[in-house]
Structure 1
């Protein structure tokens, strides 16, 4: 029995969707429903959080594990000789760039929305320090304080005044996708350095939200597109546009992927 966790809906060419955060596909149903009229949408759940594994122990995650898992999913769902479209946002945007660098032969087009590949930036050390501080604040004060600090870092604004510290108990952490993201995914994914040479040989499409203009991950996506000779597209909303504006976001995806 496969240890991979994914769902399939729709009809047409395969589109692999990899959710951001800790990979939990919560909130993506309206987006995948809108895409299912154009694609066979395969939604990958790297940690199985929506498939009965929420609450179970989770080790620190590596980008390569997510990308290799995505490659194995494609091996199960793709007809021989066919290739897939791939979409990942936020942390999953990092994973799909790694997938493209490792396995370009099975991919038609890869769309990465606001991947936090901040190591490509001229001020990489400063941004890495910001994410490291987010992790430390999570450990000392809990997910709300860490989330507020990260939102300020992404926006380039001053850090908020600290609220009351509320670290999570171990069982609370394992039942919270946000806590799993902050503790198991964020550290290594934001430290990832993409293989720009491999990506330039099979250029991706980078994307960022219109509401993210002037913010860290819009700048990161635009530079990643430039360094890989890839495309750059703006999408409705901000960092979570896929959840907040699913119909408009899906329409822009269809336009971008099938152009």
Structure 2
């Protein structure tokens, strides 16, 4: 694949930076594939974009994250705002697109498809962290709050250690999750507090993502083909249980992909998955459209 072209789109309250890997309009008439995360930006999709070398691929940084700046005076991340940004981006590139959203990006994709189904031909929702769809939703929200409390009280290492404990928890959450502080040293994380309190994953500024309530009626009525996905290594974890509950609500089967929550990654952030197998499975799903 050729070196991507980086562009900027000004939207109300923000400047959105995005990358185009391949020609636009596409050479074969197929929609471009838009890869989105949250709070992760384009940097996490480098390996997957290269592996999808038979398609034009788009990646972007959500407003206020990485290269995309915001002038709206807010630091809060919401699926509604990010979906509106994507709607404008898709119009800019001459959509529709095929969309693969991972984690919080999958939540943004749910809002986009519910409000602008004409923008998306096929939507692959990879492990959306929707706490409200879980049977143990109250306990899951309490566990999330303990992650944020650890971060605000003791700093990034403590917050991330508690987050790792949350994402590693098998089965339903219990009331005693993380009542005892989680030691960051166990995970090789810093024990010193660096004073930062705006991490988008730990601070609570992205609570609207995990609290998002999908519009099941709009999603099932949409012209978009919705595929809900979880990685096989996530089985039993929050990142499996939430998409499984969403699939049940939508009346579709959960589609199993290789690897784990970042299974599409190479060495981008030090926790590689199985990107070749992930890309092959994604191509198979998109080609079935």
TM-score interval (norm. to shorter): 0.7 to 0.9
Aligned to 1:33: 50
How many pairs were matched up? 246
Q: Which has the higher helix share?
A: 1
Deviation by residue 1:111-156 (Cα, 9 ceiling, x = unmatched): 1111011201221111111112111111112222222222222332
Q: What is the aligned counterpart of 2:99 among 74, 82, 86?
A: 86
Aligned to 2:33: 15
After TM superposition, the structure 1 stretch with the greater mean CA deviation from structure 2, 150-159 or 67-76, is 150-159
Q: What is the aligned counterpart of 1:227 among 231, 244, 249?
A: 249
Counterparts in 2 of 1:217 and 1:210: CA distance versus 1, 3 Å: same
Tell me by how many angstroms 1:50 deviates: 3.8
Q: What is the aligned counterpart of 1:198 among 218, 222, 240?
A: 218
CA RMSD of aligned residues (A): 2.3
TM-score when scaled to structure 1? 0.86
Q: Is the 8 Å Cα contact of residues 123 and 227 (structure 2) preserved in structure 1?
A: yes
Residue 101 of structure 1 pairs with residue 114 of structure 2: yes
Tell me by how many angstroms 1:48 deviates: 5.5
For structure 1, the 5+ residue unaligned runs are: none
Q: Is the 8 Å Cα contact of residues 87 and 112 (structure 1) preserved in structure 2?
A: yes
User: Secondary structure at the residue paired with 2:19?
Assistant: strand
Tell me by how many angstroms 1:25 deviates: 2.3
C-alpha separation in 2, matches of 1:16 and 1:48: 19
C-alpha separation in 2, matches of 1:140 and 1:26: 30
Aligned to 2:260: 238
For structure 2, the 5+ residue unaligned runs are: 1-8, 171-176, 185-190, 266-271
Q: What is the aligned counterpart of 2:206 among 183, 186, 196?
A: 186
**Is the radius of gyration larger for structure 1 or structure 2?**
2
Deviation by residue 1:25-67 (Cα, 9 ceiling, x = unmatched): 22321111111x232111021136442759xx86111111111
